[in-house]
Chains A and B, each alone.
Chain A
Amino acid sequence: MTIRHSRGLDRRAFLRLSGTAAAAFTAGSLVSCGQGTEADTPSDAGQSGPPNTEPDADNPLNVPPDEPLETVIFKGGYGDQYVIDAQALYAERFPDAEIKHQGGQELGKQLQPRFISGDVPDLIDNSGAGNLPMAALVADGQLMDLTPLLDAPAIGAGGKTVRETLIPGVVDLGSFGGTPHALYYAFVVHGIWHSRSLFEENGWPEPETWDDMLDLCAEIKSTGMSPWTYQGKNPGYILTPILMAAAKAGGLDVLKNIDNLEAGAWTAPPMMAAAEAFYQLVERDYILPGTSGMTHTQAQTYWATGEAAFIPCGSWLESELGDVTPEGFDMVVTTTPAVTASDALPGTAIRGMGSEPYIVPSQAKNPMGGMELLRIMLSPESATNFTDQTQTLTSLADYEPTNVGSGLTSVREALAASGDDTFFWLYHQWYSELSASVNETTSLLMTGEINPDEWAQQCQSAADAVKDDDSVTKFQRD
């Protein structure tokens, strides 16, 4: 317990440090902003910039009150009502501003021509299939630095800045090379799901170690049920618990090495231990037959209808399954069991991840308005509204949702237990080609076409290929 405590302090101190560094860095970039870098259009952003005007408590971002505001929001499982609700609050504050809103899907195709011509919205929720490739936009200087928003006072937080009210790590999740370019509005945890009622009925314990897991799988299999399934056609889903197990075994350095494209990152002992562990599911035939050919809906439906006991997923699973889940199924999420006898991270550590990345284009006509709307959305009032509508947490750390189901309860418990040990990785949003490549390689591992050694080698060579590719913009984390 004490060990865990000190680690938490370390991490907290580290985050604070990195926050200061980011602030220092962006202070510099703000200066260059005033001088007019080519990334910024010389439009209202320059005129309404903070330097000369007194900061106003009601308008800390100095939003031009009569400047129109345009938002384009991904309208998927979460809908876009929560944004429209926040816009009503924006309109109360700036009654003269005309607000244009559009909710849709496949945003990349809609917005690509607008980015090329320079006529972009002021706030985008760049989520869902067919979104804009984030790393490419960053490399092209198309995204605003969101530091002004992060350093602005948060609404209803008694003088704290927006940055201070967010879940630790959220800012880093949306940072590219230390600069926050995206702010993840929703916060999800990833883990392994099971039905609590099913497990209690059969007297199955929640496995703490991987050996427990394999023993339990043997028992589950003897009842005729398949122990595992995963979203086969999207092999990234099963790579997630492998990386989680590796991070827990070897500590955060495992993930940092992967994100920083270090040599040998994928072949490191903790990675091998995790890959070996999951490969046992293949070797011992613990995976629902046909899993590798299933879409995420198929696999999740089979899981919810009792064909398999475990499935990896993010915390959106409960709302995604909706009515498919039988009454009293009582789904809960847990982190991965320990794959070594001496895991570096505590057993409760879990992967946190943002979803719904909000971006403000640097060519936007009213970028401060876009950030202001985001600031309103990050108020406890709007966050509660979002969670009640979607059964999903926002990136705001402290608020009390009023409508909470069993999945969301377990998500909040898991997140609270993990605390400052919540970890994340970034390579998949920095290097989409590497991500695609290791996902496909993992699909081969999980069908037994390659063994863990070959898997690690192939992933490593994919990482090396990206590292050696001069046409890819590289990012670092520390």
Chain B
Amino acid sequence: MRQGRYRFIVGALAGPIVLYAVLVLWPYLQSFYVSLTDWSGYTSERRLIGLANYERLLKDPVFWISLRHNLLAAVVLPVFSIGLGLFFATMLNVAGRAKKAAVQGVRGASFYRIVYFFPHLLSIAVIGVLWSFVYDPTGNGLLNGFLGLIGIDPVNWLGSTRTAYWAILAVIVWVSVGFYVLVFTAAIGSIPPDMYEAAMLDGASRWRIFWRITVPLIWDTVQVALVYAGINALDMFAIVNVMSAAGGSGGPNNSTQVLGNYIYLTAFEHGRFGYATALGVALFVVTIVLAVITLRFMRRDRVVY
């Protein structure tokens, strides 16, 4: 009987584990190996060159620029997209003025919930192209047109090294807020309404309710969202590739360059798969370190209810 159970467990798990090992673990291991070679990506031959690719990486200014941009995004994106997500989710679920029911969202909450989620349904390529039009650098652009109404000269959003990266970050915030609203709405929905009612009866302000009840009770979700946003910030390949230039150069002058895009350029434009893989391994390390730090930093006692 006991043996039979083990056999069942092994039998049930073997398939997925083998699949995972072959499709996930093995490529990871392989890429560590490839990063030690001079593979161009176009032959079956590759030569081991030791740590030369990593040496190159440390001396490569574009690697450091890209990394700085990724880390900047890892700070900015969570603050704005999760901050806004929390704010909107609260407004939509518990911040409405109480008339009959005690806990409710602002008027039209169900409508807003759908609208916020819209951007998330579009493919990132479509979003990039749409926003490139919004950011049209002449006075004819949507954004510059609005600014023109209040007397501001057209801004060269994607063409200036000063604004290009921030313009792209703003798009990512716009895309991801809806997702976090949805996640936090679900989390807030699982908080027993009597907690809010009790707090309101005690005369707590909405601000206080937010910090003392909502945030502590959905902290687990916030934590997961932070890790998720951080990982997203380390990717950003698609949006940069679509918005930075026709060929996705990360320009102007690498001012929007991120590691994901630089890896792509290095591999496919410059035929350096070995070096690109080394960049990928570096990104892998950065991602893991950031995830560990986030989870460590955010550890709080769990509220059981």
Contact = CB atoms under 8 A, between A and B. Distances in A.
Nearest to B53: A471
B213 interface: no
Contact of A291 (B43, B137, B251): B137
Nearest to B245: A233
Interface in B25-50: 38, 40-45
Interface in A77-131: 108-109, 112, 115-118, 129-130
B137 A289 contact: yes
A235 B251 contact: yes
Contacts of B138: 288-290, 302, 307
B271 A116 contact: no
B137 A294 contact: yes
Interface string A341-358: 000000000000000000
B44 A118 contact: yes
A46 interface: no
Nearest to B61: A465
Does more than half of chain B's interface fall in helix, strand or loop, or is it mixed? loop
Interface string A415-450: 000000000000000001100100111011001010
B161 A444 contact: yes
A310 to B, nearest CB: 17
Interface in B216-266: 244-247, 249, 251-254, 265
Interface string B77-104: 0000000000000000000000000000
A440 B154 contact: no
A296 B249 CA distance: 14
B42 A112 contact: yes
Contacts of A292: 137, 156, 159-160, 252
A290 B247 contact: no
A142 B41 CA distance: 12
Nearest to A231: B246
B158 interface: yes
Contacts of A130: 268
A133 B39 CA distance: 13
B42 A447 contact: no
Contacts of A449: 161, 253
A436 B265 contact: yes
Interface in A179-225: none
Contacts of B42: 112, 115-116, 132-133, 136-137, 140, 142
B132 A133 contact: no
Contacts of A235: 251-252
A260 interface: no
B135 interface: yes
| Centre residue among B244, B246, B252 by max chain A CB count within 10 A | B252
Contact of B271 (A133, A294, A295, A298): A133
A467 to B, nearest CB: 16
Contacts of B158: 233, 293
B197 interface: no
B12 to A, nearest CB: 34
B157 interface: yes
Contacts of A314: none
Interface string B101-141: 00000000000000000000000000000001001111000
B69 to A, nearest CB: 15
B302 interface: no
B249 A293 contact: no
A102 to B, nearest CB: 19
B270 A441 contact: no
Nearest to B255: A440
Contacts of A136: 40-42, 270-272
Nearest to B161: A449
A447 B136 contact: no
A234 interface: yes
| Centre residue among A115, A234, A293, A439 by max chain B CB count within 10 A | A293
Given A133-B270, A140-B42, A293 B253 contact: no
Nearest to A302: B138
Contacts of A298: 136
A139 interface: yes
A359 to B, nearest CB: 12
A245 B56 CA distance: 35
Contacts of A232: 137, 159
Contact of A142 (B43, B56, B154, B244): B43
Nearest to A139: B40
A436 B249 contact: yes
A374 B247 CA distance: 29
A135 interface: yes
A133 B252 CA distance: 22
Contacts of B244: 233
B38 A294 contact: no
A322 B45 CA distance: 45
Contact of B137 (A137, A234, A290): A290
Contact of B253 (A137, A231, A441): A441
A135 B40 CA distance: 10
Interface of A: 108-109, 112, 115-118, 129-130, 132-133, 135-137, 139-142, 231-235, 288-296, 298, 302, 307, 432-433, 436, 439-441, 443-444, 447, 449, 471
Given A288-B138, A291-B159, 20 more contacts: A112-B42, A116-B41, A132-B42, A133-B271, A136-B40, A136-B41, A139-B40, A139-B271, A140-B45, A233-B244, A234-B247, A290-B138, A290-B156, A291-B137, A293-B157, A294-B137, A295-B245, A439-B249, A443-B253, A447-B159
13 contacts: A133-B270, A142-B43, A233-B249, A288-B138, A292-B156, A292-B159, A293-B159, A295-B246, A298-B136, A436-B249, A439-B249, A440-B251, A443-B253
